[in-house]
A and B are shown apart, each in its own frame.
Chain A
């Protein structure tokens, strides 16, 4: 590892990359919401609106051989990781051309090529798996980091505590990233936890921890670099709590009775995109043309993705029961 690659370098190109990631995720999901109302996308749809700085800040810091475990709110992670947007969109439609061949849908995006181990829709269910992936790497002396994303709601699950303990006890290279968006569905953090400092819980397991402003993509990236650097150096787990907020409903079924519109608006004004974009404009790093270009490129990519998904095929019903077990020659 070179001397200072644990610090972000804020070149113009890099700043635009960070911004592009966030805008790309935001616009993709705006489209998904629209497609949900027209019933092209069904089932549960959990949007990442407001939390984009976390995936954008953490994932590009990783190498291709590193592994990612995410939750049902994982469209952003998948896109930033490099799963092709067209195949992600096809998965949202349930088409055979989807990243999981249509079998998973929005909550279960998987991709072997980029070591993306899914969208897990059991709260806390991905943490033991991430711990085990890291155990495999450790036992084979592979220098690989496994990153596990989850919401603060998971901190109430036993699997959270069991996994943190195992990772610390066995000294496993896992980066736990808690996306603390203040609510687990309708339950505010202080209505469900006696200790609301999530990273303090991790510290109890002797894990190096840090809480960071999850609305600040540069701060997230800097923290992620420190974390990944530390894991590669020490082979020990690291815990990052990113404080953020979800601007939209928990899923498309949520009437949001549990919070005020004013609260949402206040957070929106501190959103990761307005904030970073504003700063880039003010400091002269990004010009209006840059942003227009990003938006028009993304718009085109989304149009192509939708066309691809529309043109995709439905898996024949005759194939229904395959992939329950491996097909052996």
Chain B
């Protein structure tokens, strides 16, 4: 007899709306939470994430800032130390470079420098990634740089569930958390349980199981990698797809367990290849699972070029499903 499965009620939602919902909920649940950034209020956010929030929460808590990335990021740090739970929105990772001093020299160090007397419970959200033909000053993926820094945590929600659920967990964290939202995901639409809530920010997720090869990725590249896995499946290759979710600290356990099983790995990372997060993952696999490997590890990263404007060149510069398929087949000598 067929078992009746009671499906939780779901809602149709975009990635953008999922984040907005998460912000809304946090603002309702904790009066210490407020959001600040350039054009988050009247304009509604440069990627329209915060549209409508000003009306609901007012200008104190949905706070438009001047073009002062370092100043308001630092103010977020101060407000966090002072007892608030700020969410700072930086328009994109490219502009976050103007705030890097505050993020590295203050947010990431103060707990340590103060001998554990002060923490910085701050969340910084920003867009990242290429694909919208915005050229070489608006398209880079620098989350790997931030993942280099002890003292902060780095998240890359790739799914609706994570877009909806990571923010609350990040706000609940006593230390600074950076959330990278890939620009190509904002319009992604799908079903999400109506009661979706906070998710863990510790574990990588296996998005597709397989035994022949591990495809390890995060953020916007997850969907291309899943597409690659589907293509490989049609050729009889069962690829396992790991979504890192959290780029710092990395969940070595999940990565190593998968590679120990499949004995082969391809890392897919929209960052540039040299000194990339992908390099770090390769190193960890070599350090921890060298004897389980059947062959070399491959990387599919961005080409070492500033992201160009024309679509064909832009697309050629970043990871694509076909490149992942080719890399996987090459490792499997197929």
Q: Which residues of A contact B175 (CB under 8 A)?
A: 325-326
Which residues of A, 123-175, contact B by the 8 Å Cβ criterion? 125, 127-137, 139-140, 158-159, 162-163, 165-166, 169
**Shortest CB–CB separation between residue A113 and chain B, in angstroms?**
9
Cβ of B80 < 8 Å from any Cβ of A?
yes
The interface stretch among A99-107, A218-226, A259-267 is A99-107
User: In whole angstroms, what is the CA distance A23 to B65 when docked?
Assistant: 44
Q: In the complex, what residue of chain B is closest to A158 when comparing beta carbons?
A: B70
Q: In the complex, what residue of chain B is closest to A144 when comparing beta carbons?
A: B82
Q: In the complex, what residue of chain B is closest to A136 when comparing beta carbons?
A: B82
Which residue from B80, B86, B115, B173 sits with its C-beta under 8 Å from A103? B115
Q: How many residues of A contact B (CB 8 A)?
A: 43
Interface size class of B (residues with CB under 8 A): 35 or more
Q: Which residues of B contact A129 (CB under 8 A)?
A: 74-75, 77-78, 81, 106
Contact (Cβ within 8 A) B117 A159: no
Cβ of A1 < 8 Å from any Cβ of B?
no
User: In whole angstroms, what is the CA distance A129 to B68 when docked?
Assistant: 13
The interface stretch among A2-10, A114-122, A234-242, A275-283 is A114-122
Cβ of B272 < 8 Å from any Cβ of A?
no
Which residue from A101, A135, A324 sits with its C-beta under 8 Å from B78? A135
Contact (Cβ within 8 A) A98 B115: yes
Contact (Cβ within 8 A) A112 B34: no
Cβ of B29 < 8 Å from any Cβ of A?
no
Which residues of B, 158-188, contact A by the 8 Å Cβ criterion? 173-175
Contact (Cβ within 8 A) A135 B118: no
Cβ of B102 < 8 Å from any Cβ of A?
yes
Which residues of B, 75-91, contact A by the 8 Å Cβ criterion? 75-84, 86
Contact (Cβ within 8 A) A132 B116: no
User: In whole angstroms, what is the CA distance A103 to B76 when docked?
Assistant: 24
Beyond the given pairs A108-B113, A131-B75, 9 more chain A to chain B contacts, judged by CB atoms under 8 angstroms and listed by A's residue number, are: A125-B105, A128-B72, A131-B71, A132-B79, A135-B75, A166-B75, A323-B115, A325-B153, A326-B173
- A interface residue numbers (CB < 8 A to B): 67, 98-104, 108, 110-112, 117-118, 120, 122, 125, 127-137, 139-140, 158-159, 162-163, 165-166, 169, 322-326, 328
